Structure formats: structure tokens, C-alpha cells
Amino acid sequence: MSHADSNASEPSDETVVQTASDAAEDEIFSAYKQSAIRDYDVTVVFEDGVLEVDVYLNAPDGAGDGRSADQVADEAALAARSAVDELFDE
């Protein structure tokens, strides 16, 4: 049974996608100033109760808080998943 089918009061797919996207961007911008980021993309898909998050980040080494761009991208994806988990736990 998917999240969407399990409870009528659960968040809409649009809310899930927006929550995940916002959490990922918050993680990126907590590590880097917007002006230091060359490019980034957060792709979130939520279909049939399955969440897919892909984060691409292009930022110069040493421009952020000490983490590599790959590490920040991975942590942004994890933050997105965690935010959606919390959304369903409410």
C-alpha cells in the first residue's frame, strides 16, 4: 500500500515534492552562499508512494563550509527524504 492510499489526510503529492525540494535547497544554502554556487539542480519525483530525489551541485572546492560539493549534494538528498518522512509522521 502506498502512502497516498493509506490515509486520506496524508499530504498531497505536490506537498511532498515541495517539502523535499525545500529541504534539499536549505541544506545546499546552509553550506554555500548562493553566489558561490556555479549550478545546482534538485529533482524530486513522488509517484505511487515512492520518493526519488536527485541533487546535482557544482560549486568550487573551498567555497563552502568545508564539505565537498558531492557530500553536500548527498546530504541534501538525505535531508529531503528526512523532511518527507517527518511530513508523513505528523
Question: For residue range 31-69, what is the model confidence (pLDDT) as tens digits?
Answer: 999 999 999 999 999 999 999 999 999 998 888 888 899
- Judge contact between 23 and 79, C-beta under 8 A: yes
Q: What is the pLDDT of residue 4?
A: 44
Whether residue 5 has pLDDT greater than 60: no
Q: What is the pLDDT of residue 2?
A: 45
Burial of 65 (0-12, 13-18, 19+ CB in 10 A): exposed
